[in-house]
Structure 1
Amino acid sequence: MIELRAIHKKYLFKHAVRGIDLQIKKGTIVGLLGPNGSGKSTLLKMLAGLIHPTSGSILVGGSKPDVHNKKHVAYLPEIDHLYGWMTVKETLRFIAGFYTDWQEDKAAALLLKMELDENQKVRNLSKGMRARLKLIAVLARKVPLVLLDEPFSGIDPSSRAKIIRSIISEFQSEDQTIVLSTHSVNESEPMFDDVIFLQNGQITIFDSTENLRATYGCSLENIWEKVYG
């Protein structure tokens, strides 16, 4: 699904990604882990085609990320991109207008599962409820690649649990790949097939969750502490 070769991304005063080589299999949920500034968001934005590498090549589904294949990628940014004056229902209708792959029935089912009132204004939603709405906007699309940038950032445990359950239940393992960056390692661990540890824009570890637990003899959270402690 994803192939990166010798990827570098340089900004004016920062070398954000440093020579990443990576292959991600179709049909997996991959955890992208690392402290702030490790390059997670930059990597996801490049996969989404929002920014371009300074050097190296990226293939997503066999094609270079560009305007045309953006329609095959659902990207959830860490920033809150919703309009506060819209209701929940208006927000989903607005987003649906951009995509031919939007699944109205799935959006309605997720709305019930996430316990959101479709008539409530977005500005009146808690941070956790807004995070749930952002996730619906991504999971209601039928796409081969889903990119989630810190979907649990700063939200309550109840919302984190609902979001994780929804990601697992809605994941189409035969047709879909999910790459998810997070600091909430403990709660997220059960859904990861593979895990990437990033540090200073480089991959320090990339392996299956099962192999990592067997090798280190502990959970991903404990491995995090060993890698970044």
Structure 2
Amino acid sequence: MLLECNGLVKTYMSKRAVDNLSLNIERGRIYALLGPNGSGKTTFMKIAAGLVKPTSGSIAFCGNNIGVESKKKVAYMSTEPFFYNYMTVEDVGKYYQDFFEDFDMKRYDDLLEKMELSKKDHVKTLSSGLAAKLKLAATLARKSELYMLDEPLNGIDIIARDRVMTAILETIGNENSIIISSHLVDELEKVVDNAIFIKNGGVYLAGGAEELRATHKKSLVELYKEIYA
């Protein structure tokens, strides 16, 4: 098992952002982490990435506690911008190469070409769509065991989404897994192996995508509407 969570809780003052969340992430699969804003998706990802400590419960990566070693093998892409404005696209690659041993510069260059990004461009001049592509290229250029992408399609136009999804799909292998958080369920339905519906900080419904569709006789989009309407 790649990631195991049991009874995970994270509180901020009196609010429970994550509430008794239990789930397992296996290798070689793409997971859709679904739910509206405020449901707990981002907090869970930040806990798994080692950026936020849980209030209670347990979470383990490859059987070990989340910490320095797991951070070397987990690539997390947040919704917030995380590059300095003075950087060029080329600087971003060098920055990642300095920080992460698993960063592959050739893979980064290939992704930049697919995302139609120039190394000479400055971060501060990029449109929201190009900035989103840059974040994704830097994250996917790592040879990680777990990729967590928080709203990777935000700001990306419909025409470019297929190119982005193709880059994501090319990253998956038997030894790694991808968790994609998004409210664009129709885009994910075509590619994910598993779906996890988060509601009020906990897992409301989870399982293989085909199994969920067969059991409930509904698409993931229809299930999403039913659960959160």
- Fold match, TM over 0.5? yes
- The separation in 1 between residues aligned to 2:71 and 2:146, in whole angstroms, is 10
Answer whether contact 2:129 2:154 (CA < 8 A) is retained: no
**Does residue 222 of structure 1 match 2:219?**
no
Q: Which residue of 2 aligns with 1:129?
A: 130
Q: Which residue of 2 aligns with 1:74?
A: 75
- The separation in 1 between residues aligned to 2:162 and 2:126, in whole angstroms, is 18
Q: Which residue of 2 aligns with 1:163?
A: 164
**1:79-228 alignment to 2 at 5 Å?**
79-171=80-172, 173-228=173-228
Answer whether contact 2:34 2:196 (CA < 8 A) is retained: yes
- The separation in 2 between residues aligned to 1:127 and 1:219, in whole angstroms, is 30
Q: Which residue of 2 aligns with 1:49?
A: 50
Moved over 3 A (4+): none
- The separation in 2 between residues aligned to 1:98 and 1:196, in whole angstroms, is 31
Number of residue pairs matched?
Answer: 228
Greater CA drift, 127-136 or 82-91? 82-91
Say which SS state the counterpart of residue 190 (structure 2) adopts: helix
Answer whether contact 1:129 1:159 (CA < 8 A) is retained: no
- How high is the sequence identity, in percent, across the aligned residues? 40
TM-score w.r.t. length of structure 1? 0.96
Name stretches of at least 5 consecutive residues in structure 2 with no aligned partner: none
Greater CA drift, 88-97 or 154-163? 154-163
- RMSD of aligned Cα (Å): 1.2
Give the direction of change, closer, same or farther, for the CA distance of 1:111–1:161 in structure 2 (3 Å limit).
same
Say which SS state the counterpart of residue 191 (structure 1) adopts: coil
- The separation in 1 between residues aligned to 2:53 and 2:104, in whole angstroms, is 30
Answer whether contact 1:132 1:159 (CA < 8 A) is retained: no
Question: 1:124-147 deviations in whole A, cap 9, x for unaligned?
Answer: 111111111101111111111111
Question: 1:65-92 deviations in whole A, cap 9, x for unaligned?
Answer: 1123211110101101122221111111
Cα distance, 1:160 vs structure 2: 2.4
Say which SS state the counterpart of residue 136 (structure 1) adopts: helix
Question: 1:189-220 deviations in whole A, cap 9, x for unaligned?
Answer: 12211000011011110011101111232321
Say which SS state the counterpart of residue 159 (structure 1) adopts: helix
- The separation in 1 between residues aligned to 2:153 and 2:166, in whole angstroms, is 12
Q: Which amino acid aligns with 1:186?
A: D
Say which SS state the counterpart of residue 86 (structure 2) adopts: coil
Cα distance, 1:102 vs structure 2: 1.1
Cα distance, 1:159 vs structure 2: 3.2
Answer whether contact 1:28 1:194 (CA < 8 A) is retained: yes
Q: Which amino acid aligns with 1:210?
A: E
- The separation in 1 between residues aligned to 2:159 and 2:76, in whole angstroms, is 23
Cα distance, 1:120 vs structure 2: 1.0
Q: Which residue of 2 aligns with 1:64?
A: 65
Cα distance, 1:113 vs structure 2: 1.0
Q: Which amino acid aligns with 1:135?
A: L
- The separation in 2 between residues aligned to 1:170 and 1:29, in whole angstroms, is 10
- The separation in 1 between residues aligned to 2:221 and 2:180, in whole angstroms, is 16
- The separation in 1 between residues aligned to 2:5 and 2:109, in whole angstroms, is 36
